Structure 1
Amino acid sequence: MRSALVVGTGLIGTSIALALSRRGIEVYLRDADESAVRTAASLGAGRTGQPPQAVDLGILAVPPARIGVMLAEAQREDWARVYTDVGSVKALVHGAAEDAGADLSRFIGGHPLAGRERSGPLAARADLFEGRPWVLTPGPTTSRDALNQALELVSLCGAVPVVMDTDEHDHAVALISHAPHLVAALMAARLENAREESVRISGTGIRDLTRIAGGAPELWEDILSANAPAIAEVLAAYAEDLRAAVDALHAVGGDDAEAAKRGAADLADLLRRGNTGHARIPGKHGAAPASYTGVPVLISDRPGELARLFAAAGSVGVNIEDVRIDHSPGREAGLVELMVDPTVADRLATDLAAAGWTVQS
């Protein structure tokens, strides 16, 4: 690949352009929003304007509902030799492209599974896709050239290619991304009119659960609409489990001892299923999930304190596998939980305490 055209200079499109430019690819940028494309260009993502001749790869980083028509238009005007997209749904894109008269032999669907809560070109990063899965969904007529160009794109961005069928992809992202986002939004919506006293004592649990609810509503409205049938199927299964949990809780809180016993058993079964499902989520570097032990350390909310704590752990030869931060309400301090290998947790706690850190037992 020597040249590429990125259409759409939001977070994903600009991040791809930055990654390609860093690898010496000549990148051209297009966007209906002139401010966005100028911003992306000023960040070093590429140059604005139409390339003088067809580029090697056209990357359509626009909302899923627009990809099919845009692909057909781009092919008529000969923007690129082959094309891919970065939409989070694939069946809709393939169907719309076919309806618009696009040549599907010169197109391969793509979906990098990476992102941030922030949007727009200023949130873009050249390393956004490093080590992340990037799904490719070739159709029955996809050419070898289109497949190879897409694989090279994934490699240049540092991602890991995963080939899937379009319907399989859409059901997968409904389960692992789209439905969870909607559930997070539902949970966060419960806080909208909650009493201030309740919200003020929020901890890491509710923050972790609702973090993705901070995404741009306009973007997520497009995504949810584009994959609505698959998401509805997942949520219908959620609804059955939720109804069963509500019934079990009513039974546990009731006066019927036998019903309470059955309700407690149903709750225990649901929690066990949750443990089993959580254990299937890949761990570090895609390996089997590992079990870590937390070492909680109280630190002040001053610049450099977290870096100093990490350096202290490194100085005694302990690798931090993960970290959780819980800020104290009303105090300029926080509790940092260093997740480490269980075999070194006690030694780390002892060494940190000896170095003057406040380690909680």
Structure 2
Amino acid sequence: VTPEGGRLLPMASPSASGSQPIFDRIGIVGIRLIGGSIALAVRQRWPACLVIGVDDKSVLEVAQRMHAVDVSADDLTMLSDAQLVVLAGSIQDNLSVLKLLDEHVNETALITAVTSSPSIDVSLAAKFPHRFSYISGKLSGDEVSGGIMQARADLFSGRKWLLTPERVNSNEVVDKMSKFVSELGAIPTIVDSLSDKKEKA
């Protein structure tokens, strides 16, 4: 069933490929089950893509042994040149990181979260620097929490990945994020933001 206001987009089969990455440099904050699985899937799909991991040192040591990340740090400075920043921590952790991104990310980056709260996302998106686009996200299914040791590249296969464009600078940004999700094996589904729903009401 498609969520109210949502539309399903085509799903691609994830496989190792020499194709050009959708994003050349991806920063992932929170390398646990979801963040680690995204990292592994990206490394499998686009070997040329640089995956930047941000988490506690103990977690990053495991991630490096699993070859989930290329470079890592326990602070946000490594995200300076990231084109896509994925927030894969708890809602509270993501909230804290969102407030600091303007200071650390130089690129005209796309910011997305995979554990989102609509009310928080709307208020934060309004305060974002205009050089950033923000798309909140939420995965379907029960397997959404766990540690790095449970991470696997096929975690998203066949699962709906809800995407809500809270504030984007162009439709191209939404298309790129939808394609990225699809290439990881998930089914991207665009859902109206709360502000869009109010305008349509």
Normalised to the residue count of structure 2, the TM-score between the two structures is: 0.71
Q: CA deviation at 1:115?
A: 4.9
| Moved segments of 4+, more than 6 Å | none
The letter for the 2-side match of 1:163 is I
CA distance in 1, matches of 2:68, 2:60: 9
CA contact (8 A) 2:34 2:144 kept: no
Aligned residue runs from structure 1 range 94-105, under 5 A: 94-98=122-126, 101-103=127-129
Find 1:4's aligned residue among 23, 26, 32.
26
Q: Deviations over 1:50-80 (max 9, x none)?
A: 5485122000111112323412311221165
Which structure shows the higher helix fraction?
A: 1
- Cα–Cα, structure 1 residues 39 and 89, in superposed 2: closer, same or farther, change >3 Å? same
Aligned to 1:85: 113
- Output the CA distance in 2 between the equivalents of 1:161 and 1:117: 16
| Distance across 2 between alignment mates of 1:22 and 1:82 | 21
Q: CA deviation at 1:109?
A: 0.8
Equivalent residues, number: 164
1:115-130, aligned counterparts within 5 Å? 115-116=142-143, 119-130=146-157
C-alpha change, 1:103 and 1:146, in structure 2 (3 Å) is farther
Partners of 2:27 and 2:79 within 8 A in 1:
no
Equivalent residue in structure 2 for 1:143, among 154, 169, 193? 169
SS of residue in 1 equivalent to 2:99: helix
Q: Return the structure number with greater relative CO, CA threshold 8 A, min gap 6.
A: 2
Q: What is the identity, as a one-letter code, of the residue corresponding to 2:34? A: I
User: What's the C-alpha RMSD, in Å, of the aligned pairs?
Assistant: 2.4
Q: Percent identity?
A: 28
Q: How does 1:18-97 map to 2 (within 5 A)?
A: 18-23=40-45, 24=47, 25-31=49-55, 33-47=56-70, 48-49=72-73, 51=78, 53-78=80-105, 80=107, 81-97=109-125
More displaced 10-residue stretch of structure 1: 34-43 or 6-15: 34-43
Unaligned runs of 5+ in 1: 169-361
> Residues of 1 paired with 2:185 and 2:39: CA distance?
13
Equivalent residues in 2 for 1:115-194, closer than 5 Å: 115-116=142-143, 119-139=146-166, 141-144=167-170, 145-167=172-194
> Is it true that 1:109 corresponds to 2:124 in the alignment?
no
2:50 maps to a residue whose letter is E
Counterpart amino acid of 2:104? Answer: E
> Alpha-carbon deviations, 1:93-134, whole Å to 9, x = none?
332454xx3237511111122453861000111000011100
Gaps of 5+ in 2: 1-22, 196-201
With over 3 angstroms needed to count, the CA separation of the structure-2 counterparts of 1:133 and 1:118, relative to structure 1, is closer
Larger radius of gyration: 1
Aligned residue for 1:18, secondary structure, equals helix
Q: Residues 288-327 of structure 1: matches in 2 within 5 Å? A: none
> TM-score under structure 1 normalisation?
0.42
Partner SS state of residue 138, structure 1: strand
Report if aligned partners of 2:114, 2:139 keep a CA contact under 8 Å in 1. Answer: yes
Does the 8 Å CA contact 2:33/2:144 hold for their aligned counterparts? no
The CA distance in 1 between the partners of 2:79 and 2:137, in whole Å, is 26
